[in-house]
C-alpha cells in the first residue's frame, strides 16, 4: 500500500510502498478514500523538516537541554548517534482520514466491515486505528466533507472549554481552518462572533459565515474592535486558533475580555503571560488538548476503554459524532474551505502548495478505489541473497528505537544477513529494512516464522508478546534471540520451557547484554580465583517514566522490575557464578503516591554464600550516572562506573579501563551469531535464564506481599 511519509532530516515528502498494518484487538482496519492535510499543523512539520540543524535546535530548546544532559552522562558519540538516528526516522503525516472498514479487531463493538468511518488515521491507503478514535459517517455527508471531522473536533473541544452560552459574544483569533470551523460552530451555538486575522480573504470567508471581522493585516486594532463588538463591556471569551511566536496575542485577548472572561488556546502562541492581565479581571486561561477527553490516554486509545457517557459526555469519538451530525444538518459547511483536491500519489506537490501558498486552506487527498491493498510484505530486493547453509538468516520482529539504534547495528557489525524486519504498523519496519539492507519489510510476524529462508529470529516487541513469540519461533524450528524479559509471568515462562525442551537443538538467547560488556567480563575474570564469598552492590538510576507508559502496565510490560530490573539480577548471577538461593525485596510505601515497584531494593543470596543488592531507583535526576557496580572481595574492591570506566582498589591485577560506553550489545549479538554458525552449547544456559526470570517474579512477590520476607527459589 502507499503511505505519505516525511523525512525529518531533510524534510522530503515521500509516497512510500509500506506493508499494510495488521488489525489489533480494539482496532479497525480501514481502506482510505479521502484524507485532509491540516494546513497549520502539517505545514509546521514540513517546515521543521526542511530547516537546517541549527534552526531545528533553536526551535526546540528543551530538546537541546536533554541532549546536553545525555552527553554528560553517556558521552558525546552515543548521544550524537541517537540524535541523528532519530532525525533519520520517517514521520507518518496526516490525522484526518475517511474510509471504509475492512476488518474489525477483537473486542470491538458497534462497527462492521463496510461501514464508512472518519478517524485520525494518517495519509495511507490502509490504516489501523483504535475504535475509540473513529465514528460512522452519516449517509448525507460525503467523503470530502467527512475528512474535516477530526480537525473540526479540535475546534469543537476548544469551544466546549469556553462553555459558550446563547447570546454571548466570542472572539476567534486566527481564521485558518480551525478558526473558520470554530466561527461556524460558535454561530450554531447561538453566539455572536468576531473573527480576527491578518488575511483579508479569510476575514471575508468568516463574514460569509455570519461573523463580524477585523483585518489586522490592514491595520485593524483587535482590542478596540473587541470592545466595540461587545458594546464596551468586554467579550465573554476568546478562542485562540492562531500560530505565532508573539506573546502579544494572549495579552490582547485578555484586554478584550470582560471580568471573569475565558481564554482558550487551541493554536500555538507565545505564553509569557502577564499577571496583571489575569489578576485584575480574574480571567481563566486554558490550553485545549487535541480532540477531547481520551486523547493521549493509553487506556482509551490503545486498549479502547471508552469513558462512561454519564460522567464524560464528550469523548473524542463523541466529538467526532457531533461534528458529523453538524455536517449532516448543515450547521457546519466545509465546502468553501477546500482549496484543492489532489491524488495521494501527488502528495509531495500538495505539501509544496501548503508550504508556499499561505492562502491555501484545505487540501484533500483522494485515494484510488480498488481492492484493499492488504499485502503484509514489501519486497525491497529482487531475490534472496546467497548464504552458506549454517549462516544465520535473520528475521527481526519489532522495530522500536532500541532495535534500530542498538540491535540492528550490532547484527550488521557481526556480518549477519538480514532477511526481514517486521512491525505491526509497517512504517518503522520499512525504514529499518531500508537502512540495514534487508530483503523485505513486513507487518505480520507470522510471515517471518513461516519463511523457509529465515532460520534465526530476533524478538524485540513489547514484553507481553515475548514468551508467545519465542515459543512459536522455537516450534517453527528457528534459533531465537528474545530481548529481555523472556516472560512476564509463570504461564509464559512454562510455555517457553516446553517449546525449548522440544527443540534443544535450537539456540535460545535472552538479551542480557551486560554480562557481555568488557568491564563485566574483566570483573568475572578477576573473581574466578576467589576463595571466599563476594559482596556486590548495583545502583541503577533508572529515571522516571509516566505511570501510563506501557512498561508500567503489568499486563503489557510486566512492570519495570521484571521488564528492566532483570538485567541486573542476571549481571549479579554472572559475576558470582553460583545459583541464586533466596530473594528478598522492599519497595517504597504507599506514601510515595505513585508507581512503587520502580523504586525498590532487592537482595540476592547465592549458593556459595555471596550476597548481591540491586538498588533500582526511578526517582533520581538525569544528571546523575545511570549505573554503578561495586564488587567487594577479600579486601579488594573494583568499581564499574556507568560502563565507561573500571577502577580497582588494592587489586593490582584489575588495572584501569576507560573507554566509550559499552554495555555489551555488540559482543552479545556477535557471539550469538557465531554460536549459530559453529554450533555449541547456549551462550546462557536455560537454567540461568529461568533463575533470573523466577528471581524477578519472587522479588516482586516479596516486595508486594511478603513484607520483605525472603523467598527461596528452591521448592
pLDDT at 174 over 80: yes
Distance of alpha carbon 4 from alpha carbon 350, whole angstroms:
11
pLDDT of res. 245: 85
Cα angle 557-559-564, degrees, rounded to a multiple of 5: 85
pLDDT of res. 542: 95
Tell me the pLDDT tens digit for each residue of 375-414: 999 999 876 666 667 789 999 999 999 999 999 999 999 9
Distance of alpha carbon 458 from alpha carbon 545, whole angstroms:
26
Distance of alpha carbon 477 from alpha carbon 116, whole angstroms:
43
Place of cell 509544496: 352
The predicted model gives 436-441 an average pLDDT of 96
- Which CB contacts under 8 angstroms, 24+ apart, belong to 114-120? 116/143, 116/146, 117/28, 117/30, 118/146, 118/147, 118/149, 118/150, 118/320, 118/324, 119/28, 119/30, 119/150, 119/320, 120/95, 120/96, 120/150, 120/291
Tell me the pLDDT tens digit for each residue of 489-548: 999 999 999 999 999 999 999 999 999 999 999 999 999 989 999 999 999 999 999 988
Which strand ranges, in their side-by-side order, compose the sheet holding 212-215? Answer: 212-215, 192-197, 169-173, 235-240, 257-265, 284-287
Question: In the chain, what percentage of residues exceed pLDDT 90?
Answer: 80
- Please state, rounded to an integer, the average pLDDT across all residues of the chain: 92
pLDDT at 369 over 60: yes
pLDDT of res. 573: 98
The predicted model gives 329-356 an average pLDDT of 94
Tell me the pLDDT tens digit for each residue of 306-324: 999 999 999 999 999 999 9
Q: Residue 391: is it exposed, middle or buried by C-beta count within 10 angstroms (0-12/13-18/19+)? A: middle
Quick one: cell of 266?
A: 487551541
Tell me the pLDDT tens digit for each residue of 102-125: 999 999 999 999 999 999 999 999
pLDDT of res. 302: 86
Place of cell 485584575: 280
Place of cell 469543537: 156
* Nearest CA-CA partner of 526 in 577, 578, 569: 577
Q: How many CA atoms lie within 13 A of 713 on its CB side?
A: 23
The predicted model gives 664-669 an average pLDDT of 97
* Nearest CA-CA partner of 97 in 21, 163, 205: 21
pLDDT at 61 over 80: no
Tell me the pLDDT tens digit for each residue of 563-616: 999 999 999 999 999 999 999 999 998 878 788 889 999 999 999 999 999 999
Tell me the pLDDT tens digit for each residue of 612-628: 999 999 999 988 999 99
Quick one: cell of 199?
A: 488575511
Quick one: cell of 290?
A: 487535541
Percentages of the chain per state (helix, strand, coil), in multiples of 5: 40, 25, 35
CB atoms within 10 A of CB 218: 10
Quick one: cell of 231?
A: 458594546
Higher pLDDT, 77 or 187: 187
pLDDT of res. 53: 62
* Nearest CA-CA partner of 486 in 695, 627, 676: 695
User: Which residues are registered as beta bridge partners of 459?
Assistant: 397, 482
pLDDT of res. 72: 64
Q: How many CA atoms lie within 13 A of 417 on its CB side?
A: 17
pLDDT of res. 52: 61
pLDDT of res. 9: 74
Ramachandran class of 287: left when φ > 0, alpha when ψ lies in -120 to 50, beta otherwise: beta
The predicted model gives 686-700 an average pLDDT of 95
CB atoms within 10 A of CB 632: 15
Confidence band for 50, pLDDT divided at 50, 70 and 90: low
Collect all residues with Cβ–Cβ distance below 8 Å to 681 and sequence separation of at least 6.
none
Confidence band for 70, pLDDT divided at 50, 70 and 90: low
Distance of alpha carbon 460 from alpha carbon 568, whole angstroms:
19
Task: Give one DSSP letter per residue of 35-50, joined into a string.
Answer: EEE-HHHHHHHHHHHH
Residue 363 near residue 96, CB atoms below 8 Å: no
Distance of alpha carbon 577 from alpha carbon 689, whole angstroms:
13
pLDDT at 20 over 60: yes
pLDDT at 304 over 80: yes
Query: In 3-state terms, what secondary structure has residue 73?
Result: helix
Residue 165 to residues 227, 240, 373, Cα–Cα distance (Å)? 19, 18, 48
Alpha-carbon torsion, ordered 537, 542, 548, 549, to 10 deg: -110
pLDDT at 63 over 70: no
Distance of alpha carbon 614 from alpha carbon 628, whole angstroms:
10
Q: Residue 61: is it exposed, middle or buried by C-beta count within 10 angstroms (0-12/13-18/19+)? A: exposed
The counts of H helices and E strands in the chain are 25, 32
Residue 594 to residues 255, 588, 591, Cα–Cα distance (Å)? 41, 10, 8
Q: What are phi and psi of 40, to 5 degrees?
A: -75, -60
Distance of alpha carbon 132 from alpha carbon 301, whole angstroms:
6
Strands 611-617 and 627-633: unpaired
pLDDT of res. 658: 82
Collect all residues with Cβ–Cβ distance below 8 Å to 348 and sequence separation of at least 6.
12, 13, 14, 15
Question: b or e along 569-596 (b: 16 or more beta carbons within 10 Å of the residue's beta carbon)?
Answer: bbbbbbbbeeebbbbbbbbbeeeeeebb
Report whether the peptide linkage leading into residue 596 is cis, meaning its omega lies within 30 degrees of zero.
no
Tell me the pLDDT tens digit for each residue of 442-494: 999 999 999 999 999 999 999 999 999 999 999 999 999 999 999 999 999 99
Element (DSSP H or E) covering residue 386: none
Residue 472 near residue 506, CB atoms below 8 Å: no
CB atoms within 10 A of CB 276: 10
What is the sign, positive or negative, of the torsion defined by CA atoms of 589, 593, 596, 602?
A: negative
Residue 512 near residue 600, CB atoms below 8 Å: no
* Nearest CA-CA partner of 345 in 361, 367, 364: 367
The predicted model gives 286-290 an average pLDDT of 95
pLDDT of res. 75: 66
Domains of the chain in sequence order = 2-148+296-366 (3.90.180.10), 151-287 (3.40.50.720), 384-512 (3.40.50.720), 514-712 (3.30.360.10)
Q: What are phi and psi of 155, to 5 degrees?
A: -65, -40
Amino acid at each position: 500500500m502507499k503511505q505519505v511519509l516525511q523525512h525529518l532530516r531533510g524534510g522530503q515528502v515521500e509516497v512510500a510502498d509500506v506493508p499494510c498494518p495488521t488489525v489489533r484487538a480494539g482496532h479497525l482496519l480501514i481502506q482510505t478514500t479521502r484524507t485532509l492535510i491540516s494546513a497549520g499543523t502539517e505545514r509546521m512539520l514540513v517546515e521543521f523538516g526542511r530547516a537546517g540543524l541549527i534552526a531545528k535546535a533553536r526551535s526546540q530548546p528543551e530538546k537541546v537541554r536533554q541532549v546536553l544532559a545525555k552527553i554528560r552522562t553517556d558521552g558525546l558519540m552515543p548521544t550524537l548517534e541517537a540524535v541523528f538516528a532519530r532525525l533519520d526516522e520517517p514521520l507518518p503525516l496526516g490525522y484526518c482520514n475517511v474510509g471504509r472498514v475492512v476488518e474489525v479487531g477483537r473486542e470491538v463493538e458497534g462497527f462492521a466491515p463496510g461501514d464508512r468511518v472518519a478517524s485520525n488515521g494518517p495519509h495511507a491507503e490502509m490504516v489501523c486505528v483504535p475504535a475509540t478514535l473513529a465514528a460512522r459517517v452519516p449517509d448525507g455527508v460525503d467523503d470530502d466533507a467527512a475528512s474535516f471531522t477530526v480537525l473540526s473536533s479540535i475546534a469543537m473541544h476548544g469551544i466546549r472549554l469556553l462553555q459558550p452560552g446563547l447570546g454571548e459574544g466570542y472572539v476567534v483569533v486566527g481564521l485558518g481552518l480551525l478558526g473558520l470551523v470554530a466561527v461556524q460552530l460558535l454561530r450554531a451555538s447561538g453566539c455572536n462572533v468576531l473573527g480576527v486575522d491578518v488575511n483579508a480573504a479569510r476575514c471575508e470567508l468568516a463574514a460569509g459565515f455570519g461573523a463580524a471581522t477585523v483585518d489586522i493585516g490592514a491595520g485593524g486594532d483587535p482590542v478596540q474592535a473587541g470592545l466595540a463588538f461587545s458594546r464596551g463591556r468586554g467579550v465573554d471569551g476568546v478562542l485562540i486558533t492562531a500560530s505565532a511566536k508573539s506573546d502579544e496575542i494572549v495579552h490582547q485577548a485578555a484586554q478584550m475580555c470582560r471580568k471573569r472572561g475565558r481564554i482558550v488556546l487551541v493554536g500555538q502562541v507565545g505564553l509569557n503571560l502577564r499577571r496583571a492581565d489575569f489578576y485584575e479581571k480574574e480571567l481563566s486561561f486554558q490550553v485545549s488538548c487535541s480532540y477531547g477527553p481520551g486523547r493521549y490516554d493509553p487506556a482509551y486509545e490503545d486498549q479502547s476503554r471508552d469513558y462512561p457517557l454519564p460522567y464524560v459526555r464528550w469523548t473524542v469519538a463523541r466529538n467526532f459524532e457531533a461534528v458529523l451530525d453538524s455536517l449532516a444538518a448543515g450547521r457546519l459547511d466545509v465546502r468553501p474551505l477546500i482549496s484543492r483536491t489532489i491524488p495521494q500519489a501527488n502528495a509531495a506537490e500538495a505539501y509544496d502548495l501548503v508550504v508556499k501558498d499561505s492562502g491555501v486552506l484545505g487540501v484533500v487527498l483522494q485515494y484510488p478505489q480498488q481492492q484493499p491493498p492488504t499485502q503484509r510484505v514489501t519486497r525491497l530486493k529482487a531475490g534472496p541473497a546467497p548464504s552458506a547453509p549454517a549462516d544465520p538468516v535473520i528475521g527481526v520482529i519489532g522495530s522500536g528505537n532500541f532495535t534500530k539504534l542498538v540491535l540492528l547495528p550490532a547484527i550488521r557489525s557481526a556480518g549477519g544477513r538480514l532477511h526481514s524486519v517486521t512491525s505491526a504498523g509497517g512504517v518503522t519496519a520499512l525504514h529499518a529494512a531500508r537502512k540495514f539492507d534487508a530483503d523485505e519489510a513486513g507487518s505480520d510476524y507470522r510471515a517471518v516464522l513461516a519463511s523457509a529462508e529465515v532460520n534465526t529470529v530476533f524478538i524485540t516487541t513489547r514484553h507481553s508478546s515475548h514468551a508467545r513469540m519465542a515459543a512459536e519461533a522455537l516450534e517453527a524450528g528457528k534459533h531465537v534471540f528474545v530481548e529481555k524479559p523472556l516472560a512476564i509471568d509463570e504461564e509464559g515462562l512454562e510455555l517457553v520451557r516446553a517449546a525449548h525442551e522440544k527443540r534443544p537443538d535450537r539456540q535460545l538467547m535472552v538479551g542480557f547484554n551486560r554480562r557481555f560488556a568488557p568491564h563485566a567480563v574483566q570483573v568475572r575474570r578477576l573473581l574466578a580465583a576467589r576463595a571466599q564469598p563476594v559482596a556486590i552492590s548495583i545502583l541503577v538510576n533508572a529515571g522516571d517514566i509516566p505511570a501510563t507508559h506501557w512498561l508500567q502496565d503489568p499486563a503489557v510490560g510486566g512492570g519495570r522490575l521484571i521488564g528492566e530490573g532483570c538485567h541486573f539480577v542476571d549481571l549479579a548471577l554472572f559475576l558470582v557464578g553460583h545459583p541464586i538461593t533466596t530473594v528478598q525485596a522492599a519497595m517504597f510505601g504507599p506514601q510515595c503516591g505513585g508507581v512503587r515497584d520502580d523504586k525498590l531494593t532487592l537482595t540476592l543470596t547465592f549458593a556459595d554464600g555471596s550476597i548481591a543488592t540491586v538498588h533500582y531507583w526511578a526517582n533520581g535526576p538525569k544528571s546523575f550516572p545511570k549505573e554503578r557496580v561495586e564488587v567487594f572481595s577479600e579486601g579488594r574492591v573494583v568499581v564499574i562506573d556507568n560502563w565507561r570506566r573500571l577502577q580497582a582498589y588494592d587489586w593490582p591485577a584489575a588495572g584501569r579501563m576507560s573507554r566509550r560506553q559499552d554495555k555489551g550489545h555488540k559482543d552479545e549479538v556477535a557471539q550469538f551469531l557465531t554460536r549459530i554458525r559453529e554450533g555449541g552449547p547456549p551462550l546462557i544456559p536455560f537454567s540461568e535464564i529461568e533463575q533470573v526470570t523466577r528471581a524477578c517474579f519472587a522479588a516482586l512477590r516479596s516486595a508486594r506481599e511478603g513484607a520483605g520476607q525472603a523467598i527461596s527459589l528452591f521448592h
